[in-house]
Amino acid sequence: MIGMLASAAWLMALSVTIHAIGLTLAFRFVKRRPALLAASFWPSTWTLIGVAGWAVLLHLLEISAWAGFSTWKLAMPDFATAAYFSAVTYTTTGYGDLVLPEPWRLVGAVEALTGILMCGWSTGFFFAVGSRMYRDQPAASPA
């Protein structure tokens, strides 16, 4: 059981590292474009679409890491099945149509907790970008 928890802790740390690198890059990108953010509706909208797409890509990389580990350790029969299971677990959808073998179930629970944290972090970042857009816009003058 200690080995399983160590594996889950390593995968959690990998997920946090992927997310930290990815959101740091996104933050640098957004920070360099203050004029773009305040310009008008479409530039701001495209920026938000880009940030959302980037966050989803980060989550997919993290899900793939969990799935790769499950496949490598033979907890799932193949990568496609493991990727589906990881996506459902990471997002806490939890259909229940697939389950890990009993010794690995605690790893699945840690994956779900990690997914909650990473999704929350992405949500916070998305909110910060949106807040910055509105903060940086000049106030409308009364008519």
pTM (predicted TM-score): 0.86
In a domain, 37, yes or no: no
What does the pLDDT look like over 55-113, one tens digit per residue?
999 999 999 999 999 999 989 999 999 999 999 999 999 898 988 888 888 999 999 99
Both tokens of 129, joined, read: 């970008």
In a domain, 141, yes or no: no
In a domain, 87, yes or no: yes
In a domain, 142, yes or no: no
**CB neighbour class for 142 (10 Å; exposed up to 12, middle 13-18, buried from 19):** exposed
In a domain, 107, yes or no: yes
**Structurally, how many domains does the chain consist of?**
1
In a domain, 57, yes or no: yes
In a domain, 36, yes or no: no
CA angle 116–70–59, rounded 5-degree value: 35
Q: Average the pLDDT over each of 5-9, 10-14, 15-19 and give the range with the smallest value.
A: 5-9
CATH number of residue 81's parent domain: 1.10.287
Q: What is the pLDDT of residue 94?
A: 87
Segments forming the whole domain that contains residue 78: 2-30+43-136
